[in-house]
Amino acid sequence: MGKAERTDVVVIGSGAGGAPVAVTLAEAGARVVILERGSAYTIRNFTHDEVGICRRDFFVPFPYPGHSPHTIRKRGQDGYRLTTEGWVGVCVGGGTVHMSGFTYRFKESDLRLRSMTGGIAGADIADWPISMDDLLPYYDLYEARIGVSGKAGVNPFETRKRPFPLPALRPHPAARMVDEAAGPLGFHPFPTPRALLSAPYGGRPPCNYCGFCGEYGCENGAKSSVAASLLPQAEKTGRCQVRPGCMVTRILTDNEDRAAGVVYQDARGKEHKLEARVVVLAATAIESARLLLLSESGRFPHGLANSSGLVGKNLTFSTFGKGTAIFERHKLEKKLGPEGMDLPFLLRSVQDDYWNEKNGLLLPKGGTYNFLLHHPNPINAAVRLMMESKWNLWGQKLKDRLHEYFHDELWVEFEVFGEFLPHSGCYVDLDPRVRDGFGLPVARITNLHHPASDEVNKFCVRRGMDILNAMRPAPKKVWPFTWSSTTYHLQHGTCRFGTDPARSVLDPDCMAHDVRNLYVTDGSFMPSSGAVPATPTIMANSFRVAEKIARRFRHHEIPA
Amino acid sequence: MITRRQMILGLLSAGGATLCPGLLKAGANTLIGTMSGWVFEPDRLRALLAAAERVLPGVVGAGFEDYINYWLVREPFNRAADWKPLLNIGAVHLDRIARKKFARVFADCRPEQQDELLVSFQRGEIKARRFSSNAFFQRLAALCAESFLSDPKYGGNRGQIGWHFIGHHACWWAPRRKLPAGLPVY
């Protein structure tokens, strides 16, 4: 290891949690270094290569020994297996590069779940130590900084006071069918807000409506990933440097229980020491917990910032359900006309069941129903058709079916984002048997669902199916794709924040109770998963925390 | 006495890399294109291609062989747990069952005979130690779909034949080729 380098702030991870802190502190005058273990891609790397990107895991490490697997035990499995599950976009920009960009906000019922329910048996839920009023200005800020499109004032359950920075994207004409079906059933469908540009913004071009958003990098920069928006803004200050290919292996501490900096390996495998006045950890809920557990020392024998024993515990994902309806294009064209039939986005969401005391379930909460068109991935479609036929569909029958799918069908689907209750059966720890390419124990994930989460998700799928069935012209087939599974790239909770150091890892400002200049700003801080994708909330919170850190710098509360 | 078949199966299931690690690690597509025997023994390849053509008609002409060779020699995919051994052993069993039932290897059976055999694989009816015939069928079918509809740079979807078949313009729509130099870096 060479001579130690010094900076003001080191940020571990360049995604939704890291980039807002980096840009805010760099603009406030701090010298910031972002260490990102993945590569830096340009838009030239982002093509519609379904095999390379989706089926050979372009964005995440290979799940083989010597690379960087996770190990996982899911429901119904006995032992732990090697997996890619739990990895989120390992590249500059993190998961925001390949996100779909559904940008819903959290609601009061997400932050006050414990007090509003009075507690759920077997679940370890906690109220957030901050209020919606603390978050709202930062939701507005993140939307303006990255560029979010949507229509305000339509969703009666929305927590917003200001319009979106950009108007809503153009929906496929079948959105009208969702509106006509959902309204009479008592729902209030609204245009799904997206982190995609509907008009030029900040020097970036608008969306070209190719439809390859989820799983893919955006080929013209219209998706508002932090790599397209915040990171260039941070680098423009001249005080922020993004270093790709740099894997942090340890957070260092001094004798006064302060973080002294980090040790990392660069892309060539050379080890470096980087000293910093503030360390910000934002490597995803799973990898951040792993790094804290790996950074044990004499003073922190059970892992850094882990006096509560809660690092890695209370891991939550998002429960996932999905239903599909098949419509015949020629019938749709008869009703809706030919105009816009090739548009890729349906852009309709429903949140009427978000808080629902009448659902008769243990958890009086539903989720978000996101209506969308089937992803344009052709191989996925072919394999799905075969799988759902129990592999009976092959030969000429398969070819005929593929032709029908691509030429005369429109698949309308809804996805459920549901509350994933934290409980003792879902956590991350260090695998005692499997090591990664750096010789470090890999993250071991245990994922069992709380039964109440599954119940709610099934309820939500039934409700979504009601809407699909009510659409006209009638679909030729409607079926539930899954009643309740897990969305692994939405992950939270492993370093929950709170006021009591015995029952939380971070304080309300997301600073570790045990280490006064260590912050965690990815989804780790969240004591509840919410019933929407958390990326916007992670970004808003990261901007909030950044202002707290900047204030401490200004008030000379952080030693040089 | 070790039979030729046992030797091939042993070598392949132990990982062909022991045979010629340098060549396999290099993963040179052009080289492999002319030396596909290094990936699959010719008889096995013949059975696999015949089966693939029944699973998705037209897939062999669209470059199925080049496609599977591309991935099976490439680090780290050649180390994926089941790909190569599964396909090899599956090919052996295709011929074994075909000989037993129709007294000829799979590739020489009539199409309806091949379909009859494939149905029994698809349903998992072929019982053999440490071999799952439906897993083999599913892997083969998924590779057929991939090779027919993937980016042609991997050797399949020759002449974009698969994309033309589905009329799916978004796949080959590639603006990167039209963009001027000096792009902003995102």
ipTM computed for the complex: 0.92
Mean pLDDT computed over A392-397: 98
Better-scored residue on pLDDT, A366 or A128:
A128
CB contact B145 to A (< 8 Å):
yes
Tokens of A514: 């045990």
Query: At which residue do the structure tokens 């509840």 appear?
Result: A528
Give the rounded percent of residues in chain A with a pLDDT score beyond 70: 100
- Contact between chains at B168 and A386 (C-beta distance less than 8 A): no
**For B175, which residue in chain A has the nearest alpha carbon?**
A219
In B, which residues are within 8 Å of A233 by CB distance? none
Q: Over the stretch A239-251, which tens digit does the pLDDT of each residue have? A: 999 999 999 999 9
Cis peptide before A473 (omega within 30 of 0): yes
Mean pLDDT of chain A: 95
Q: Where are the domains of chain A?
A: 5-554
Of A51, A220, A225, the CB nearest to B154: A51
Supply the Cα-derived Rg of chain B in whole angstroms.
Answer: 18
The predicted structure's pLDDT at residue A62: 86
Pick the CATH number of A5-554 from 1.10.3720.10, 3.40.50.970, 2.40.10.10, 3.50.50.60: 3.50.50.60
Of B57, B122, B146, the CB nearest to A391: B122
The predicted structure's pLDDT at residue A161: 86
Cβ-Cβ contacts under 8 Å for A13 (sequence gap 6 or more): A34, A35, A36, A94, A281, A282, A283, A284, A287, A288, A522
Assign B79 a pLDDT band (cuts: 50, 70, 90): low
The predicted structure's pLDDT at residue B180: 40
Q: Over the stretch B30-63, which tens digit does the pLDDT of each residue have? A: 344 334 445 789 999 999 999 999 999 999 999 9
Cβ-Cβ contacts under 8 Å for A528 (sequence gap 6 or more): A110, A111, A113, A125, A126, A128, A316, A419, A421, A422, A493
- Kindly tell me the burial class for residue A211, based on how many C-beta atoms sit within 10 Å of its own C-beta (0-12, 13-18, 19 or more): buried
- HSE, side-chain direction, 13 A CA sphere, residue A345: 27
A493: left (phi over 0), alpha (psi -120 to 50) or beta: left
**For B75, which residue in chain A has the nearest alpha carbon?**
A62
Backbone φ and ψ for A329, nearest 5 degrees, come out as -60, -40
Tokens of A523: 């989804």
Strands A477-492 and A316-328: antiparallel
Mean pLDDT computed over A1-14: 91
- Give me the count of residues in chain B: 186
- Contact between chains at A47 and B118 (C-beta distance less than 8 A): no
CB-based contact B85:B41 (threshold 8 Å):
no
In B, which residues are within 8 Å of A67 by CB distance? 76
CB-based contact A531:A110 (threshold 8 Å):
yes
Assign A181 a pLDDT band (cuts: 50, 70, 90): very high
Q: Over the stretch A400-434, which tens digit does the pLDDT of each residue have? A: 999 999 999 999 999 999 999 999 999 999 999 99
Which of residues 89 through 128 in chain B touch A, CB cutoff 8 A? Answer: 115, 118, 122
**For B54, which residue in chain A has the nearest alpha carbon?**
A395
CB-based contact A247:A37 (threshold 8 Å):
yes
Distance, CA of A126 to CA of A291 (rounded, Å) = 24
- HSE, side-chain direction, 13 A CA sphere, residue B70: 18
Other C-beta atoms lying within 10 Å of the C-beta of residue B173? 16
- Contact between chains at B175 and A208 (C-beta distance less than 8 A): yes
**For B155, which residue in chain A has the nearest alpha carbon?**
A51
Tokens of B40: 């699959």
CA distance A551 to chain B (A): 30
CB-based contact A242:A14 (threshold 8 Å):
yes
In B, which residues are within 8 Å of A51 by CB distance? 146, 150-151, 154
Assign B183 a pLDDT band (cuts: 50, 70, 90): very low
Mean pLDDT computed over A506-510: 98
CB-based contact A418:A366 (threshold 8 Å):
yes
**For A41, which residue in chain B has the nearest alpha carbon?**
B186
CB-based contact A149:A167 (threshold 8 Å):
yes
In A, which residues are within 8 Å of B183 by CB distance? 42-44
**Between the CA of residue A4 and those of A239, A245, A260, what are the distances in Å?**
19, 18, 11
In A, which residues are within 8 Å of B137 by CB distance? 391
- Contact between chains at B163 and A398 (C-beta distance less than 8 A): no
Cβ-Cβ contacts under 8 Å for A344 (sequence gap 6 or more): A172, A209, A210, A211, A373, A376, B170
**Between the CA of residue A437 and those of A53, A67, A95, A265, B75, what are the distances in Å?**
22, 5, 22, 11, 15
CA distance A186 to chain B (A): 36
The predicted structure's pLDDT at residue A53: 92
- Contact between chains at A379 and B141 (C-beta distance less than 8 A): no
The predicted structure's pLDDT at residue B169: 64
Among B62, B168, B144, B153, CA closest to A375 = B168
Q: Spell out the SS3 assignment of A15-83.
A: CCCHHHHHHHHHHCCCCEEEECCCECCCHHHCCCCHHHHHHCCCCCCCCCCCCCCEEEEECCCCCCEEE
- Contact between chains at B79 and A64 (C-beta distance less than 8 A): yes
Assign B185 a pLDDT band (cuts: 50, 70, 90): very low
Distance, CA of A337 to CA of A348 (rounded, Å) = 20
The predicted structure's pLDDT at residue B176: 41
One-letter amino acid for residue B140 of the chain: L
**For an interface test with B, which of A46, A48, A54 has the most B Cβ atoms less than 10 Å from its Cβ?**
A48
Q: Over the stretch A183-201, which tens digit does the pLDDT of each residue have? A: 999 999 999 999 999 999 9
Of A40, A67, A382, the CB nearest to B76: A67
One-letter amino acid for residue A213 of the chain: C
The predicted structure's pLDDT at residue A486: 93
Among A335, A377, A342, CA closest to A472 = A335
In A, which residues are within 8 Å of B53 by CB distance? none
In A, which residues are within 8 Å of B170 by CB distance? 48, 210-212, 344, 376
- Contact between chains at B171 and A48 (C-beta distance less than 8 A): yes
- A435 pairs with which residues across the strands? A441
**For an interface test with B, which of A84, A394, A399, A411 has the most B Cβ atoms less than 10 Å from its Cβ?**
A394
**For A405, which residue in chain B has the nearest alpha carbon?**
B166
In B, which residues are within 8 Å of A219 by CB distance? 175-176
User: How distant is the alpha carbon of residue B56 from its chain centre?
Assistant: 12
Mean pLDDT computed over A210-229: 94
DSSP character string of B51-86: HHHHHSTTTTTTTHHHHHHHHHTSTTGGGSSSHHHH
- Contact between chains at A43 and B176 (C-beta distance less than 8 A): yes
Distance, CA of A367 to CA of A361 (rounded, Å) = 13
Distance, CA of A68 to CA of A291 (rounded, Å) = 14
> Does pLDDT of A497 surpass 90?
yes
- Give the DSSP letter of residue A185: G
Of A18-22, B65-69, B84-88, B151-155, give the range with the top mean pLDDT: A18-22
Distance, CA of A143 to CA of A120 (rounded, Å) = 34
Among A219, A157, A167, A96, CA closest to A347 = A167
In B, which residues are within 8 Å of A220 by CB distance? 175
> Does pLDDT of B175 surpass 50?
no
Tokens of A559: 């030693």
> Does pLDDT of B18 surpass 60?
no
One-letter amino acid for residue A321 of the chain: G
- Contact between chains at A399 and B57 (C-beta distance less than 8 A): yes
Q: Over the stretch A57-89, which tens digit does the pLDDT of each residue have? A: 889 988 887 789 999 999 878 899 999 999 999
Other C-beta atoms lying within 10 Å of the C-beta of residue A59? 23
Mean pLDDT computed over A310-322: 97
Cβ-Cβ contacts under 8 Å for B176 (sequence gap 6 or more): A43, A44, A46, A47, A219
Distance, CA of A439 to CA of B144 (rounded, Å) = 37
Distance, CA of A479 to CA of A323 (rounded, Å) = 6
- A367 pairs with which residues across the strands? A418
Mean pLDDT computed over A347-364: 91
In B, which residues are within 8 Å of A386 by CB distance? 138, 141-142, 145
The predicted structure's pLDDT at residue B25: 34
Range in A67-71, A164-168, A262-266 the model is least confident about: A67-71
| H-type alpha helices, A281-328 | 285-294
